Structure 1
Amino acid sequence: MKSVACTNPGDLEIREIERPSRADGEVRVRIRRVGICGTDFHIFEGKHPFLAYPRIMGHELAAEVLETGPDSAFSAGDHVIINPYLSCGSCRACRNGKSNCCTAIAVLGVHRDGGMCEEICLPERNLVTSEGLSLDACATVEFLAIGAHAVRRGGVARGEKFLVAGAGPIGLGVAIFARLAGAEVSILDLDPARLEEACAIAGGCQPIRAGADAEAEVNRISEGEGFDAVFDATGNLASIQSGFSRVAHGGRYVLVSVVTETVSFSDPEFHKREMSLIGSRNATSEDFRTVISALKSGEVPLDRIITHRTDFNSVTSDMPRWTHDKTGLIKAMITLD
């Protein structure tokens, strides 16, 4: 059986691996679609801090069921969405319905080998029924759910003003679900082309170009009062720290991206706003359901989000090229048919 392995930073190769053997409580699936995300590019570049090589990447997955146990809710041939967050089910977070931040979480393609392979076995609880979605749509649910989760964590009242820093796929997901929840959304990014496209895809968002004029535009749009909620999806320390000053008094600051450095901020500025500082990690089953509903109702323009395609054999040359040239790239998709 074939897999695509990142053996070292900057080195992808197709490898033969053993066909997986299904354990009790697991389902064996054939991978049909793999979305490539920023995490995968970071792994390829050697910039991911929580990973050991070699690693089979891939956590944005659509699959077809091949083999189940006798009492499974699934049948051979079913198309499914993969929830890539493997949790213990017994820690305090899991017991409280927050398996997305399980103390022993293992994310496919990061902490353990993922789905850039022909087949994989997974616990049945990590399979989500496709509800009739296309395979392409199934493979976008996970990354969009991260945005939906962040919006749910931040809360929203219709008409509130939101700022999303970072117009990559995760920031785009935040903007889409903030708009669907009724917020007035602005997006801030360095790349003017990516910023324009993100605002168009999310629908009616205000663009703010990062740089010398950004604060003046922030003040203009927020009428000098800051935003009810600010979301950082940049993965950049300077961006995260500058976001504190953009939160309105009584507002919320949601950190979606992760950095390895220590984040610091002015305590007087933080306290005088009575600001809520919120972490947002991964997504839950509720967020998957939110995304599935939005996809089924046509509220997410997949034709504009999936911009690049490759296949199992070509990804070893396409991914290195896209790592250095992301012109027009929002979401790349690997097709395995």
Structure 2
Amino acid sequence: MTALVCTEPGAFDYKEMAPPALTPGHAIVQIKRIGICGTDLHAFEGTQPYFSYPRILGHELAGDLIEADGAEGFVPGEAITIIPYFNCGTCIACRNGKPNCCTQINVFGVHSDGGMAEYVSVPSYSLLKSNGLSYDELALVEPLAIGAHGVRRANIAAGEFVLVIGAGPIGLGTMEFARIAGATVIALDINDQRLQFCGEKLGIEHTINAASDNVIQRLKAITNNDMPTVVIDATGNRQAINNALQYLAHGGRFVLIGLQKEEISFSHPEFHKRESTLMSSRNATRKDFETVMAAMKSGLVNPANYITHRAKFSEVKEVFQSWLIPATGVIKAMVEMG
């Protein structure tokens, strides 16, 4: 079979290798779609934490089940997606229902080789039935689940003002689920094209360009001087994270979905006087995946909004670099296998 390997930052190679064999507790999946996410782009750039080379990228996947051991209720030939965070099942996080931050977590396509291949082997417990969703929709479940998990971490109540910083795919999904939770959502980015997308495609009423607007003044006007009670960072940008505390209401929650390599810092007095809550949001759980799939099925989320670019698997090496360029206008690139 053919796989696309990121051999080092900035370099891909197509390589022929033996297809995976069935092993106990695992399933063989024929890949049909691969969504390209920020993790893949950052890995290609060489800026992704927890990463080593060479690596087969890809964890936003849809495919057909070929065969499986220990996958009760699944049948060969059915369409599936996967939860790509493989956990140990025994550590304190797993025992407390948080397999998404397992102490020994193995994220498919990050810690181990992922889905940019014709066939993959994954743990049978990671399989999710399609529930009638298309391959495109199934490949979008994982990135939307990241946002759904962050919103659930924030415990958003109806009527709250929620500021989401970063209008990339993760941020957009976060906005969707904050809106579904009943919040008044404010989008903050430096890209007017992305902000326009928020308004036109997602129905986000309030958008702010951090490069050209007075952010604090705009936030005060929108929130009647209260400021947002929830601020969620989906940029993974150190400067954006460090600056965001000033946007938070007193008594508010600051949630970090985005990830970067360096230390973060902000004024302790500013943090303390707000009695702020700071939390990270890592990956997602099965509950979040099910929430996303239900939202797709009910029409609360329109997956077609997200896919702006497509490529055949054989074209990825050639076009991948262009997806890093903001002027390309990529929201979600979808790779088609076969």
Same fold (TM over 0.5): yes
State the Cα distance separating 1:251 from its structure 2 match: 1.0
2:41 corresponds in structure 1 to 41
2:54 corresponds in structure 1 to 54
The within-5 A match list for 1:2-21 is 2-21=2-21
1:131 corresponds in structure 2 to 131
1:327 corresponds in structure 2 to 328
Which amino acid is 2:307 matched to? Answer: I
Corresponding position: 1:146 with 2:146 = yes
2:294 corresponds in structure 1 to 293
Decide which moves more: 157-166 or 190-199: 190-199
How far does the alpha carbon of each residue in 1:43-64 deviate from its partner, in whole angstroms, 9 at most, with x for none? 1112223211111000000110
Change (3 A) 1:70 1:196: closer
State the Cα distance separating 1:321 from its structure 2 match: 2.1
Secondary structure of 1:61's match? strand
Which amino acid is 1:314 matched to? Answer: E
1:81 corresponds in structure 2 to 81
1:117 corresponds in structure 2 to 117
Corresponding position: 1:215 with 2:227 = no
How far does the alpha carbon of each residue in 1:17-49 deviate from its partner, in whole angstroms, 9 at most, with x for none? 111011111111101100001111111112223
- Misfit runs of 4+, over 6 Å: none
1:184 corresponds in structure 2 to 184
CA distance in 2, matches of 1:173, 1:194: 13
State the Cα distance separating 1:88 from its structure 2 match: 0.6
1:247 corresponds in structure 2 to 248
Secondary structure of 1:133's match? coil
CA distance in 1, matches of 2:99, 2:70: 26
Q: Share of identical aligned residues, percent? A: 47
Which amino acid is 1:246 matched to? Answer: Y
How far does the alpha carbon of each residue in 1:284-306 deviate from its partner, in whole angstroms, 9 at most, with x for none? 00100100001111222222210
Secondary structure of 2:250's match? strand
Change (3 A) 1:264 1:137: same
8 Å CA contact 1:56–1:114 kept in 2: the answer is yes
8 Å CA contact 1:7–1:13 kept in 2: the answer is yes
8 Å CA contact 2:198–2:204 kept in 1: the answer is no
8 Å CA contact 1:34–1:61 kept in 2: the answer is yes
Give the aligned length: 337
CA distance in 1, matches of 2:240, 2:14: 37
Secondary structure of 1:39's match? helix
Secondary structure of 1:225's match? coil
Q: Which runs of 5+ in 2 are unaligned?
A: none
CA distance in 2, matches of 1:21, 1:62: 19
Task: Report the TM-score, using the length of structure 2 for normalisation.
Answer: 0.97
CA distance in 1, matches of 2:286, 2:71: 21
Corresponding position: 1:29 with 2:33 = no
State the Cα distance separating 1:326 from its structure 2 match: 4.7
The within-5 A match list for 1:63-74 is 63-69=63-69, 72-74=72-74
CA distance in 1, matches of 2:29, 2:315: 22
1:227 corresponds in structure 2 to 228
